[in-house]
Amino acid sequence: MRWLSLRGIKFSLLLLAIFVCGTTETAEACFCAGTVLNARDEAAEEFAAAAVVFEGEVLPGGHLVAAPHLPELGLGVIVLRVIRSYKGDTGQVIEIYDDMAGSDCEFGQPEPGSKFFIYGSKGKDGRIYVRSCERSGPDELAEADIRFARNEPATSEDLEPPAEKERLQSDPTLAVRGATLHGIVRPVAGESLRNLRVEVWTPDDCGVRQSSSGIQKVQADGTFDFRYLAPGVYVVTALDSGKSPVPRYRGESGTVLLGEDQISSSVTVTMHLEPVGTVRIRVAAPSELRARVTVSLRDHEANRVGGGPFPYIAAEVPDANNVALFEGVPYGMYDVDVQITGDDLNRPSWTYDDLQVQVSGALAEMVVQLREFPKP
């Protein structure tokens, strides 16, 4: 049996650390689904997806509307004066809504007078929402976003893979002794390179992928470079990350040994076809819950070190027929979760059976039956 939980676009995953082959210990962490490749590309993607984009100054008048079942979780309202609009109809003053207010995922209530760069998305109710896992933030932290919105040239920092910066921050000596891994991705015969990304991993003594050292884009010619790597053994994986209901491609290199200040150019990742299917999940729930339901689908292997290098994790809101549709899902086993906005995790109102769905063909379907949690 599983309790309903509110996670929004954040997911709690079990991160497994292998100390001896076959022995694991676990720790829980919460993170935002998605991959940061570099600030410029992230700004471009978010700008394209947003309904409104603007710079604004916070005005007095922000407040919290309590949810009916959980007083400390509700709908936050943030009022801003529009300083400069880049996309959408903002007007001179705009109200932005935060439906995760009161949770760890909230955007928060910034102080009046503070200035923010905002990406706003339109909800089903016609309101403009801001999400904590998006790039909206204070002006001083949004310089790359402002440059993109103003069509200004990207700086070298805008284009720097964040994992490189993190490696140097954690160990500054890697600027001198760090290794560079240069490689190329080979597409399937007859296929062109699309939206490809590569990830470099440190394997354990058993050859199992254990920890990631970063994700980067593949250049138009198929090449990639990972700089400032600590000397050691690495494995590179690649994925066509374009989300579409067609087969996708992935690949993995063999192990590569890097010494201090070494440049390795012997890595080749050959892509292969990975079939995908569609998952239809119908939620059987009382009518009063339907507008509050979100369904998430998570790769069952995401909790296991050595599982797929790019686990599929997605969340969808059911349509008018109470069906959540997931397209472009790779073959495999998936855990199904249902969340209800405003339900108290300490005193859940609804529950359902633990569920998994197997994707092994064009279409997989299942029904999730919500039922009232037994009263104490």
What pLDDT, in 10s, does the model give residues 35-66? 567 889 889 989 999 999 999 999 998 877 76
Give the closest residue to 194 by CA, choosing from 225, 159, 238: 238
pLDDT number for residue 309: 62
Alpha-carbon distance of 361 to 280, in angstroms, equals 13
Pair of tokens at residue 308: 């797929």
- Cβ–Cβ under 8 Å, residues 226 and 214: yes
pLDDT number for residue 162: 83
Count of H helices and E strands in the chain?
Answer: 5, 28
Tokens 């650390």 found at: 17
Close Cβ partners of 359 (under 8 Å, ≥ 6 residues apart): 276, 277, 279, 329, 330, 331, 332, 333, 334
Alpha-carbon distance of 285 to 349, in angstroms, equals 12
Give the closest residue to 100 by CA, choosing from 75, 133, 68, 135: 75
Domain ranges of the chain: 41-149, 161-274, 276-372
Assigned CATH topology for domain 41-149: OB fold (Dihydrolipoamide Acetyltransferase, E2P) (2.40.50)
Assigned CATH topology for domain 276-372: Immunoglobulin-like (2.60.40)
Give the closest residue to 179 by CA, choosing from 228, 216, 233, 225: 228
Alpha-carbon distance of 164 to 167, in angstroms, equals 5
How many Å is the Cα radius of gyration of the chain?
Answer: 22
Shared fold status for 41-149 and 276-372: no
pLDDT number for residue 244: 56
Pair of tokens at residue 11: 């997911």
pLDDT number for residue 4: 39
Q: Residue type at 211? A: S
Give the Cβ contact number of residue 133 at 10 Å: 15
Residue 164 in 3-state DSSP? Answer: helix
What size, in residues, is the chain?
376
Task: Tell me the β-bridge partners of 358.
Answer: 333
pLDDT number for residue 143: 95
Assigned CATH topology for domain 161-274: Immunoglobulin-like (2.60.40)
Which residues of the chain, if any, have pLDDT below 70?
1-36, 66-73, 103-104, 190, 193-194, 207, 241-247, 302-310, 343-346, 376
